[in-house]
Amino acid sequence: MISKEEITKIAGLAMLELSENEKAEYSSQLSSLLGYFNEIQDLDLAGVEPTNHALVADNVLREDTAVPSLGQNVVVAGAPATDGKSYRVPAIIETEEQP
Amino acid sequence: MSENYIKYANYKEMPAHFKPAHEIRKMIDAKEISEAELMESAVRRSKETNGLLNAFLSINGGAEGFSGVKNSFWAGIPVALKDNIVTKGIKTTAGSKILENYTPIYDATVVQKLKNAGAPIVGKTNMDEFAMGSSTENSAFGVTKNPWDITRVPGGSSGGSAVAVASGLAYMALGSDTGGSIRQPAALCGVCGMKPTYGRVSRYGLIAFASSLDQIGPFTRDALDMAYALDVICGHDPKDSTSSAAPAESFSDFVKKGMDMNGVKIGIPDEYFGDGIEQGVAERVKEAINQFEKMGAKIVSVKLPHTKYAIPVYYLIATAEASSNLSRFDGVKYGFRAAEFKNLKDMYMKTRDEGFGAEVKRRIILGTYALSSGYYDAYYKTAQKARTKIKEDFQAAFSRADLILSPVTPATAFKIGEKTADPLTMYMSDIFTISANLASIPALSIPCGLSGGMPVGLQLSGNYFQEGKMLAAAYEFQKRTDHHLCVAAV
Amino acid sequence: MKYEAVIGLEVHVQLSTNTKIFCSCSTRYSGNEPNTSVCEVCSGQPGVLPVLNAEVLKRAVKTGLALNCSIAKRTKFDRKNYFYPDLPKGYQVSQFDMPICANGYIIVNDGLAEGKKDKKIGITRIHMEEDAGKNVHGSDGKSSFVDYNRAGVPLLEIVSEPDIRTSSEAKEYLEKLKTILKYIDVSDCNMEDGSLRCDANVSVRPAGETKLGTKVEIKNMNSFRGVQKAIDYEIERQIKVCESGSKITQETRLYDEAKAVTLTMRKKEEAFDYRYFPEPDLPPYDIAPKDIDAINSALPELPDAKFARYINEMQLSVYDASLLSNNPSLAAFFDECAAGYKNYKAITNWLLGDISKKMNELGIEDIFSSRIRPENLLEMLVLIDNGTISGKIAKTVVDEIFASGEKSSKIIEKLGLVQISDDGFILKIINEVVAENPKSISDYISGKEAAVGFLVGQIMKKTRGKANPKLVNEMLITELAKLKNA
Ligand SMILES: [Mg+2]
Ligand SMILES: [Zn+2]
């Protein structure tokens, strides 16, 4: 069972502002989903390696050779707010937000 | 009342827009049709039908796309792209409000390959937001309709691409398949769709849903076109560390050579033929099995004992990866930003709340939960281990069988709105498709008849990098059957 | 009650590779406009994928070996999820449970201050990760501006064991770490420009207690001196809290350089849940023993080994050996000279004396970025040895080498600095000086030996320092003896 409080905490981690209705809805839906998902707890998985990666070849590397970058006007142009050179965001207050 | 479909006796009888690309190629080469006419027709038909079907989120003006490439199968043959494949200078939304005004600054590797091959792009197709859904009802830009019955869903999440090919709006369309998002809409719309082996096609430029499951693949009219499509999009990409260096043979040459089906072992997983399958679907699939047997294939029974865990495993892994992949949509660099906010955190919270739709938020919450401290081991890590068991099931099955045959979906296309209330019911409809993504194996869907006037799909899976064998078998089937000649009356 | 501090350091060093860790953008953007060394990958565009820079993996292994770590047979990347504007993807690609290196150590206090003992500071782990961009605060206080030039620059995070007990030990650890990293040429290691950054975990406990106290993390220190001062302040603050009977709160504090205090940034309850999970876009990396061996055998001689060699094989003093071995470029210069000249003490004296002084004056940190080359110094030393120039003249030669970079012999010729060893000429000058300084002569005769020094000085002055001082001394004493006995 996932409480509304837990949903609020999780939503905070995911940076989602949810309405009270959404919280209630997700709390009940996720509770029933996880109720069903708990089936996997029945599996005997002792000694089983997790599949951390899909079918991949190991050791994929790139040479340390620079190629020209895209340029300021290209990258910053699509942003919702800029000063033409940098992305503009609401003031960052370091003591509150820096992780 | 006229039928909702037309069954042609052969490709010759079909109007040009329904013909497979390999027929169109011959016509272009014989100067029976021009590249400009093809594109003009595709764009016109797409515009005419979009009000009804809503297959496209954007349609090319029509003038672009001819690069003068010669000696390429796809040169001049119109194709469509799912709107989560980034196209430089062409708006790419992934079906989300949060990207409603996003114009990419680079091309996906598959787009680069199609451009190099001279294939003009008709437009970008509708999809469930960020590929999260099985019905294309979760698009921020309206539902896509099934051309066989516009009260029904086309499947999803690549619904727009499936409809584009099913309605003769493009000869080939690319989709992405994370848990069945190509094969399921292909089945529900009566066309061919394939999810290649993980890594076979570069993911560079595919807006990520679940990185370890996502794979780009084509929709086509038949298996030979599918081989041609795979020829052009597959191959190692130095920009995608997970892209495979496995050599890619010419799939079209391989398929055209023909395959002797005698003694080819086709595995039937018991677990896929239980209760809950619509009778018409079960019958069509059984008929297909009989057909393969008639062609000389040996039908063997295989076991995939962890099938029942596939849905939880899939939804835990996919949502966990998605919760992280979708963090970049924060209103800072591109796309939508909420109009009003008090401070930085408020800007993030409101942008993401307003920018994402309900299903996306539901999955972000679920995935964040599965990764959060205290639950990681019980959910995410357990799911990763169970995924290993599912992979092992398939390796065991492929030691007994060359190919695995199953239904694609338990039922034909459902009514629009029918499953939106309960996410679990919706998730359950992916039961036959998600295992291939978890196991990283290739799987394709081809039409195998109708049930209640709606198309039924047949799924063929193979072991890693066995696309050639799968396509050849599918083409042998199509040479002897006419299900693929049956098209929606659009 | 007596208290003891327990300190662990987390150091982030930028690797000085040509390109970023996961894309081919250049890392040489210093001084450029914001967002110019940026592409779709490092700006976090939808659909992009990372590809690891081979040089990053190599330098991580190199660093691990130099810091006595064991190198993982297999390593992988993980995502660390959090939202911050300088983080383009909303997660940092880092390493969680399979870091590239673990279980190393650094030895500090190695003899520089006489009487102190060597101490091993453990290194828990080293991992690879990507740097974030830079937030610049707007002048209006309402906006901040984000620059992704730094986003994706490769970092090594080097985490020490809580083996450090004092702020000066912390400084020694950082200095030693910096020296080693400079030796192996993986990073510029400049705290002022941010290529080396340090966070400290500090706790206190009653002396003799073995259990750890509650730790506080300190961030935002911008120099080694700042690290020292922040730790000192924090230790004192924590002791005061303990003595007042209160409990230390587990928290993160920011160091305020101007006020030299630490201030609460975030309490434990607000700790982040980073939701680490394996990065699905990057495959794992297997590190073959033969690759480790190859990197290991290409490692340069490291400071501890150099120090020992200077003492044991070259008979340098502990102090000189320490100064030289802790300065990678000076040590390299010394080694080059020592290969062709056996009076190691003479080389050391010049390097640590006049040459270091000259470099300080000119603000040169790396001797190889000055004009002096080992062959210049060697030639000069030989010229002193064979009497062509005096040690005093040599100082002028050094100045001139720094100015022009010319060969010592050429400088001597150009400036007419060749030592005068002509008896007749020197005698003539001696006679002049004797005649001009009757007071000194009578002082000498009455037994004031010090007058000799003055007279030598006068002679050298007359010859503008070019007279062979040894000869001057000998001849003057002979002449004075004659006068005394007359
Ligand atoms: Mg770090
Ligand atoms: Zn870049």
Q: Residues 6 or more apart from B245 whose CB is under 8 A from it?
A: A57, B236
CA distance C421 to C467: 6
pLDDT confidence of residue C115 = 58
| Cα B121-B123-B129 angle, rounded to 5 deg | 130
Residue A30, token pair as written in the block: 């996720």
Could you tell me the distance, in angstroms and rounded to a whole number, from the CA of residue B202 to the centre of ligand 1? 30
Q: In chain C, helix, strand, coil percent, each to 5? A: 40, 20, 40
Kindly list the distances between the CA atom of residue B85 and the CA atoms of B106, B209, C6, in Å, as whole numbers in the listed order. Answer: 11, 12, 53
Q: Which of B356, B384, B423 sits opposite A29 (nearest CB)?
A: B423
> Quick one: which of B366, B367, B332 has its CA closest to B351?
B332
Query: How is chain B split into domains, by residue range?
Result: 5-305+387-488
Mean pLDDT within A15-31: 94
Is there a contact between A90 and C144 if contact means CB atoms under 8 Å apart?
yes
Which listed ligand is nearest to C149 at the C-alpha?
2
pLDDT confidence of residue C101 = 98
CA distance A28 to B354: 22
Which listed ligand is nearest to C96 at the C-alpha?
1
Could you tell me the distance, in angstroms and rounded to a whole number, from the CA of residue C22 to the centre of ligand 2? 7
> Which chain residues have CB less than 5 Å from ligand 1, an ion?
C 157
- Whether A46 has its CB under 8 Å from any CB of chain B: the answer is no
pLDDT of residue B1 exceeding 50, the answer is no
CA distance C251 to C248: 9
Mean pLDDT within B373-398: 96
CA distance B449 to B259: 23
pLDDT confidence of residue A73 = 82
Which residue in B325, B343, B375 has the most chain C C-beta atoms within 10 A of its own C-beta, making it the best mutation to test that interface?
A: B325
Which residue in A23, A27, A37 has the most chain B C-beta atoms within 10 A of its own C-beta, making it the best mutation to test that interface?
A: A37
CA distance B2 to B145: 19
Which stretches in chain C have pLDDT values below 50?
Answer: none
Is there a contact between B105 and A74 if contact means CB atoms under 8 Å apart?
yes
Across chain B, mean pLDDT equals: 95
Which residues of B have a catalytic role annotated? 82, 157, 181
What residues of chain B have any CB closer than 8 angstroms to a CB in chain C? 84-86, 92, 94, 99, 102, 104-106, 108, 203-208, 210-212, 238-242, 320-321, 323-324, 326-330, 332-334, 344, 348, 368, 371-373, 376, 380
C349 domain residue, yes or no? no
pLDDT confidence of residue A95 = 56
Here the CATH number for the domain that contains residue C437 is 1.10.10.410
pLDDT of residue B118 exceeding 60, the answer is yes
Q: Which of B197, B334, B344 sits opposite A79 (nearest CB)?
A: B334
Beta strand segments in chain A, E: 61-62, 87-90
Starting at the edge strand found earlier in the chain, the sheet holding C3-14 runs C70-71, C101-108, C119-130, C154-160, C3-14, C196-206, C216-221, C251-256, C261-267
Number of neighbouring beta carbons within 10 Å of residue C272 = 14
Could you tell me the distance, in angstroms and rounded to a whole number, from the CA of residue C82 to the centre of ligand 1? 12
pTM of the model: 0.92
Q: Say which amino acid occupies C285.
A: Y
Sign of CA dihedral C359, C365, C369, C375: positive
Instruction: DSSP for C209-272, please give it.
Output: --S----EEEEEE-SHHHHHHHHHHHHHHHHHHHHTT--PPPEEEEEETTTTEEEEEEEGGG--
- Chain B residues touching residue A90 (CB < 8 angstroms): 341, 343-344, 346-347
Residue C12, token pair as written in the block: 């982030």
The distance from CA C63 to its chain's CA centroid, rounded to whole angstroms, is: 16
| Cα B49-B53-B55 angle, rounded to 5 deg | 95
Gap between the terminal Cα atoms of chain C: 79
Q: Say which amino acid occupies C364.
A: I
CA distance C352 to C323: 8
Please tell me the distance in Å from C230's CA to the nearest CA on chain B.
29
CA distance A24 to C400: 82
Boundary residue ending a domain (C250, C276, C291): C291
Residue C306, token pair as written in the block: 């150099």
The distance from CA B247 to its chain's CA centroid, rounded to whole angstroms, is: 23
- Whether B489 has its CB under 8 Å from any CB of chain A: the answer is no
Tens digit of each residue's pLDDT (9 = 90 or more) over C298-323: 999 999 999 999 999 999 998 999 99
Q: Say which amino acid occupies B317.
A: I
CA distance B454 to B459: 17
> Which chain residues have CB less than 5 Å from ligand 2, an ion?
C 23, 25, 39, 41-42
Number of neighbouring beta carbons within 10 Å of residue B487 = 26
Query: How is chain A split into domains, by residue range?
Result: 4-39
Nearest CA in chain A to B366: A30
Nearest CA in chain B to C51: B241
Please tell me the distance in Å from A57's CA to the nearest CA on chain C.
7
Determine the 3-state secondary structure of C10 from DSSP. Answer: strand
Is there a contact between B424 and A14 if contact means CB atoms under 8 Å apart?
no
Tens digit of each residue's pLDDT (9 = 90 or more) over B65-106: 566 787 899 999 999 999 999 999 999 999 999 999 999 999
Please tell me the distance in Å from B434's CA to the nearest CA on chain A.
14
CA distance B473 to B292: 9
Domain count within chain C: 2
pLDDT confidence of residue A8 = 95
Tens digit of each residue's pLDDT (9 = 90 or more) over B414-470: 999 998 877 777 888 889 999 999 999 999 999 999 999 999 999 999 999 999 999
C388 domain residue, yes or no? no
- Whether C102 has its CB under 8 Å from any CB of chain B: the answer is no
Number of neighbouring beta carbons within 10 Å of residue C452 = 16
Boundary residue ending a domain (C291, C321, C338): C291
Give me the CATH code for the B5-305+387-488 domain, please. Answer: 3.90.1300.10
Is there a contact between B380 and C81 if contact means CB atoms under 8 Å apart?
no
Q: Which of C43, C277, C280 sits opposite B333 (nearest CB)?
A: C43
Q: Which of B204, B320, B333 sits opposite C88 (nearest CB)?
A: B333
Q: Is B180 exposed, middle or buried (0-12, 13-18, 19+ CB in 10 A)?
A: buried
CA distance B435 to B427: 13
3-state secondary structure B176-242: ECCCCCCHHHHHHHCCEEEECCCCCECCCCECCCCCCCCCEEEEECCHHHHHHHHHHHECCCCCCCC
pLDDT confidence of residue B238 = 96
pLDDT confidence of residue A98 = 52
Q: Which of B343, B379, B387 sits opposite A51 (nearest CB)?
A: B387
Which listed ligand is nearest to B239 at the C-alpha?
2
Gap between the terminal Cα atoms of chain B: 15
Task: Report yes or no: B98 and B88 within 8 Å, Cβ to Cβ.
Answer: no
Is there a contact between C144 and A92 if contact means CB atoms under 8 Å apart?
yes
- Residue span of the structural domain in which C21 resides: 3-291
Nearest CA in chain A to C147: A86
- Whether A41 has its CB under 8 Å from any CB of chain B: the answer is yes
Architecture of the domain whose range is A4-39: Orthogonal Bundle (1.10)
Residue B410, token pair as written in the block: 């338990």
Mean pLDDT within A7-24: 95
Q: How many CA atoms lie within 13 Å of C259's alpha carbon, on the beta-carbon side?
A: 6
Phi, psi for residue C356 in degrees, rounded to 5: -60, -40
Residue C417, token pair as written in the block: 């600095």
Confidence label for B175 from pLDDT (cuts 50, 70 and 90) = very high
Determine the 3-state secondary structure of C107 from DSSP. Answer: strand
Instruction: DSSP for B359-378, please give it.
Output: HHHHHHHHHHHHHSTTTIII
Tens digit of each residue's pLDDT (9 = 90 or more) over C373-396: 999 999 999 988 887 888 888 898
- Chain C residues touching residue A57 (CB < 8 angstroms): 283
Could you tell me the distance, in angstroms and rounded to a whole number, from the CA of residue C39 to the centre of ligand 2? 4
